[in-house]
Structure formats: structure tokens, C-alpha cells
Amino acid sequence: MKILITGAAGFIGFSLAKRLLDRGDTVVGIDNLNDYYPVALKRARLAEIQSPAFRFVEMDIADRKALPELFAAEKFDCVVNLAAQAGVRYSIENPWAYVDSNLVGFANILECCRHYPVGHLVYASSSSVYGGNEKVPFSEDDKVDNPVSLYAATKKADELMASCYNKLYGIPATGLRFFTVYGPWGRPDMSPMLFARAISAGEPIKVFNNGDMMRDFTYIDDIVEGVVRVIDRAPARHEVYNIGCSNPVKLMDFISEIENALGRRAEKIMLPMQPGDVYQTYADTSKLERDFGYRPGVTLHEGIGKFIEWYRSDKNPLR
């Protein structure tokens, strides 16, 4: 297949591109290489993709001239939209970045899929759509009409837009609600990288809500496996799936795993909950397992070990 990956220099996009190329697909990757976090990491990821079947184009998904031209020229079989302005907390202070990328950009993707038909549109939603949901585990059947951040609201809007375009124009679309993803080449603004850097440097780490939080941490290889399975089977209509580990971990236990892997103890600064954050995330992945045979296989201990091995290696450009 010829597959377009947007956000190809991002954590999940880069990892997915490598997997698809390994199995013989042709991949076109686009990314605007913005400076939300160090561009050096994004360029280093792209440099790791060594394949004649991969082509990278620096482009913003909100570009209403360049993106349709790319669709017209390439005639994609499948589009995986992973480009987005990420970050729950950042959205509170920088709302327009989220409107431009997550709403205007995604509308542009949908319009391109409408005018230059593709076999399947797979797009990134987020566990953030569940807001402060107290019922666990989080199910796709739960109401998600009470977002606690603009980021979450844009992801819910993406789901509604994709559903609408499916009904109006028959675009086969699948939304994936990603739960906290970690592993080698991860984002430096996320807790695994923040904790590893601070602990390694002997600096204190910030622990919010006094450590009383739980997250459904999911290793990158399990995420990629799930996405690949979804790519290969387009739905007749719009569908949304949770994709996570379905095994929430206490934040303090997560920190302990990083401490053990590094062989150093962390100095912790206990702080209150941040605006836009939630107490817990917990994925019910039974629908994804039923329809695609998805079962995450990497334990937290294994995943943290692999992450720290990469973090300490020469491949980490931010080390």
C-alpha cells in the first residue's frame, strides 16, 4: 500500500513509518517540524528512517494549497493522521495552535480524503476526551461531552467531524483514542523523558497531585502493532477505539520503575493538580481486541528498561 503519515517526525508517526516500511509498504511522511519541542529530536527520528520507499515532505496539514496537491499527485491507499498540536497543559495558554492544527488541519485532511478518495482514514484521537470520567475502565460507549482542556475538546471535535464526513461522503474512518504512550524516541515534554532527565542529572522532579494519579502507560511497540492492525481493515462506517494497555499504574510506581532502571533515587517536589489534568486514565480495549485481535504484550518493567537503555545510548540526541 501507499500510505500517508502526517506527523511523521513525531513519536508515534516515526515509529509507525519504520514498521510499515519493514513490511514493504510505501510511505510518504509529512510534518511541519514545529518547535513545540526540540526540532533536533524530530530530525534525528527522520534520519533513522533509511528506506528508498520513504519520502519526507515538510508541510503543514493546514496548508490548503500544498496538501490537496500532494493528495492529487500521490493517490494514497490509506492516510494515518497523527499530526496535531499535542499537550493538554500547553493548550490552556496557546489555544490558537490547537485550533489551527487540530481543527483547521484535520478539516483539510478530511476535504482531501473527500476529493481524492482513499481506502481508509485512520486518525489520532486521545484518552483526554474522557475528561474527569470517574467510571473505569473508560469505554467507547461512555459519554465524552465534558472535556477539561481545549486539547481534549479538539480531539472530540475531530471524532465528530470524521463521523460527519463518513455519513455525508462515505469516507471510511477509524479514530484511535491513544492512552499515555512511552518508549524510545518519546516526546521530551512527557513524564518519562522529564523524569529520566532530571533523575539522571540529580535534579528534583515535579510530582503533581502529590503523586495521587494513575495512568494507562502503553509501550510504543504495542501502540504501533494496534495501528497497523487497524490500517489493514477499513470499516464500512466511522468507528472509534481505545488503544492502551488496560492496566493503569500508580504514578509513584511508575517513578520507582524509572529510578530502579537508572539506579538512582529521585528528589520529589510534591505539587497540587494542574489545570486541565485528570486523576486517572484506564482503557477498556475489549472492542479493539474483539475486532482486531489487539493485545498489548510489553510489561511496564520491560518497557521502562528498553526506554532507559535508549535514553542512555548515543541514539538519544537530547542526552
Cell 487540530, located at residue: 102
| 215 and 281 Cβ atoms separated by less than 8 Å | yes
- Sign, CA dihedral 138-141-147-153, equals positive
Q: Which of 38, 37, 75, 74 is nearest to 56 (CA)?
A: 74
Q: Which of 159, 167, 157, 160 is nearest to 237 (CA)?
A: 167
Task: Give the three-class secondary structure for 88.
Answer: coil
Those residues with Cβ within 8 angstroms of residue 90's Cβ, 6 or more apart along the chain or in another chain: 36, 97, 151, 189
Active site residue 151: yes
Question: What CA–CA distance (Å, rounded) separates 116 from 119?
Answer: 10
Q: Which residues pair with 219 in a beta bridge?
A: 182
- Sign, CA dihedral 124-50-33-181, equals positive
Q: Which residues pair with 123 in a beta bridge?
A: 81, 175
- Which of these is catalytic: 151, 165, 182, 282? 151
Task: Tell which phi-psi region holds residue 211, choosing left (phi > 0), alpha (psi between -120 and 50) or beta.
Answer: left
- Sign, CA dihedral 191-195-196-197, equals positive
Q: Which residues are catalytic?
A: 151
